[in-house]
Amino acid sequence: MLRNNAKWLLKFSIRSSTAKRRSAAYDKISSRPFSVLVQSFDKRHNSLQCEAFAVPKSTLKTTACTDQLGERQKGHPDAEPSESPSYNATNEFTTRTHTCGELRAEHAGQSVTLCGWLEFSRMSKFFTLRDGYGTVQALIAEEDGPRIPLDGLPFESILRVTGKVQLRPDGQHNRFMPTGEIEVHVEKLEVLNESKKRLPINVKDHNRAKENLRLEYRYIDLRNPQMQRNLRLRSQVIMKMRECMINDFGFLEVETPTLFRRTPGGAQEFVVPSRKPGHFYSLVQSPQQFKQMLMVGAIDRYFQIARCYRDESTRPDRQPEFTQLDIELSFTDREKVIALVEAVLRKSWPFADQPLKGPFPRMTLDEAMDRFGSDKPDVRFGYELQNVSTLLSPQNQLAVSDVREQDFRAYAIVIRAKEARQLPGGIRKTLDEIAKKSNYCKFTMSKITPEWNTGPIVRLLGQSATEAISGKLSLEPDDVLFLGWGKQSYVQNMMGRVRLAVYEMLESRSVVPKRATHAHNFLWVIDFPMFAENEETGTIESTHHPFTAPHPEDASKLADGVPPDAELFKIRSLAYDLVWNGVEIGGGSIRIHRSELQRRVLRDVLNIEHDHLGHLLDALDSGCPPHGGFAIGLDRYVSLLCSAASIRDVIAFPKSLDGKDPLSKAPVPISEEEKRIYHIKVIE
């Protein structure tokens, strides 16, 4: 049947000595849409016979589906208006003819069948029906009232409505509804499932419940228009990413295991018991080892939408289980991986009226910390840190315990008089709280007066330092100076938090421009140190992860052994992070592909027992190409696209802040029988 229906047929022979012909023939076949490749071995000519047949149209059909955001996107200020298509694939395989959100004036006179939730009713005559695509008004004629009872039907009941689309009378159009020009005159109404009269939460925006209650009744909260928009935008972005990776760049989607073995170092992992006493799995933090082994296995362009797990305290931008676009490719370098990630983001960017442009700017980690006090700087506003370390000396009042002179740094932020006069009275208390949480550094806030150079600040800084700072920063009366000093990394982080807090206060008072949510301030942060000292334990740790390769200019320092700590901490890595508006949305690196160097890093630098990594080290010894990759945190990225307050607002069933599931009440105790099967004994 396939041969009879095929519209074209291509035969060719692939011989070992005709590489160019083989490649060209393969490219010709693979470029054909929906082709099937059939192979057979020709013994007479010692060659591989390949036939490519087109799949008949009746066998394999594709339909252009409408925008997954549907009418929800129209209500968003960033969205472009679009006309509803005459055909909507979302109605296929259902008992409805249209969604509630797609009807327009051009549908007037058509008979339609709609399915959805009863949102509102009035006078047993008017009601609105809502589904995941929008809302439409329906009207029951007075003569049909006894035949189509609506009175007393609880809101959120499931209805199927059949009727005719009519234009609303003049003056009754609702310009706030995409369907506001029409209404459906009901001919038949079926109650498919009657809801209970009082639901625990409200679906509407104006009276939404608190988050914990919304998470407990998530199946109701998902009906909210904002949740609908968020999840549909997430689906659209992931779909575009997947299409881009496969269709545009020829990557292979490979699923890797979730159950793996424990990997020392890094984040705490979830442990999964097995039936073998004393033996456990761990849920993977990421597919890192698997994707590196895929490179060894000649799967040279890998990606997947990966589920990852980390047993960490949950923060507004963290979940114990999360999703990332995971990418790895062979025979590449940092520049090419960065170019690939930028291309994927551009092609999957959901706002067509505001296209992304590249390349994104870059900044070294040292510059980011020195100017913004953060490894993920928000560059939508100024108020940059000013390095005044050379003007101050860590002595007398400026001395900080346990801070060596070579580690001493001082930074200032100046708010000019015009904005400073609008600072709230409680700012000092807020900033002092930030300073109290910062170790190895100190902080002061000082308002500039005409006598400032001879005032109390002199007792802290000294006369010469006071005058030097005033001159360097061009201080004027009514300016406000924020000054921090202490151990380099600590004072940088503290002043970075001060910078953000001050701008947020001014922003909330409309003193400074409000930061644009979708501003295209993407930024690459590069040249991370390969190793860093753990401030609490004093041990050496990987800044990124232990599989990250050194920068080519610094690689020689590890060629013959481990250098002294002073030199070790100067070695840069080929790690790179992508930051968007002050939020890290992804990170990656070029990997170590030689087993000798990987063993030296694990054994001699990090003092990590690497028996558990024998499979990976053996793989590196088995012909491993140079490779690198990247991962985009999809939960965090989509939450920024949606301007959501938390990543929980873009996840269908998230965990709460304490890592629990309010919906199912997990984690929960298990039975004694289950404990026996898995050899578990609970110790209180």
What is the residue type of 489? S
pLDDT band at residue 14, thresholds of 50, 70 and 90? very low
Q: How many CB atoms lie within 10 A of CB 421?
A: 11
Q: What is the mean pLDDT of residues 24-51?
A: 39
Give yes or no for a contact between 529 and 569, defined as CB atoms under 8 angstroms apart: yes
> What span, in angstroms and rounded, lies between the C-alpha atoms of 108 and 336?
53
Please say if the pLDDT value at position 8 is more than 70: no
Mean pLDDT within 434-454: 93
- DSSP symbol at 591: B
**What residues does each domain of the chain span?**
105-198, 228-363+522-649, 381-509
Give the 3-state secondary structure of 439-463: CCEEEEEEECCCCHHHCCHHHHHCH
Per the DSSP assignment, residues forming a β-bridge with 572 are 529
What is the per-residue pLDDT across 458-499, written as a single tens digit (0 to 9) for each? 999 999 999 999 999 999 999 999 999 999 999 999 999 999
Please report the sign of the dihedral spanned by the C-alpha atoms of residue 81, residue 84, residue 85, residue 90: positive
Could you give the CA distance from residue 329 to residue 331 in angstroms, rounded to a whole number?
Answer: 7
Minimum mean pLDDT range among 1-10, 345-354, 584-593, 673-682: 1-10
| Cβ atoms 199, 618 nearer than 8 A | no
Mean model confidence pLDDT for the chain = 87
| Cα separation, 678 vs 278, whole angstroms | 9
Residue 61 has pLDDT above 70, yes or no: no
Chain segment 620-656, per-residue pLDDT in tens? 999 999 999 999 999 999 999 999 999 999 999 999 9
Q: Which residues contact 504 (CB under 8 A, 6 or more apart)?
A: none
Name which of 106, 56, 99, 51 is nearest 83 in CA terms.
106
Query: If we measure between CA atoms, which residue out of 127, 191, 207 comes closest to residue 158?
Result: 191
- Res 58: pLDDT: 36
CATH number, domain 105-198: 2.40.50.140
Residue 662 CA to residue 659 CA, distance in Å, equals 9
Tell me the three-class secondary structure of 506-520, residue by residue. HHHCCCCCCCCCCCC
How confident is the model at residue 16, as a pLDDT? 40
Amino acid letter for position 348:
S
Q: Per-residue confidence at 213, pLDDT binned at 50, 70, 90?
A: very high
Q: For 254, which DSSP code?
A: -
pLDDT at residue 35 tops 70? no
| pLDDT surpassing 70 at residue 34 | no
Q: 376 in helix, strand or coil?
A: coil
Distance CA 369, CA 363 (A): 10
Q: Say if CB 209 and CB 230 are below 8 A apart.
A: no
Q: Quick one: how far is CA 674 from the chain centroid?
A: 37
Phi, psi (rounded to 5 degrees) for 420: -60, -35
Cα–Cα dist 326/539, whole Å: 30
Q: Which residue is it, tokens 């047949």?
A: 53
Measured in Å, how far apart are the chain's first and last C-alpha atoms? 68
Tell me what pLDDT residue 314 has.
60
CB–CB of 118/153 below 8 Å? yes
For residue 228, pLDDT beyond 80: yes
So what's the pLDDT on residue 146? 87
User: Which positions ≥6 away from 36 have C-beta within 8 Å?
Assistant: 2, 52, 53, 54, 55
Please give the model's pTM, rounded to 2 decimal places. 0.85
Q: Which CATH class is domain 228-363+522-649?
A: alpha beta
| CATH fold for domain 381-509 | Gyrase A; domain 2 (3.30.1360)
Q: Which of 268, 112, 275 is nearest to 182 (CA)?
A: 112
Geometric angle at alpha carbon 574, from 572 and 580, rounded to 5°: 105
Which of 626, 598, 628 has its CA nearest to residue 614? Answer: 598
pLDDT of residue 59: 39
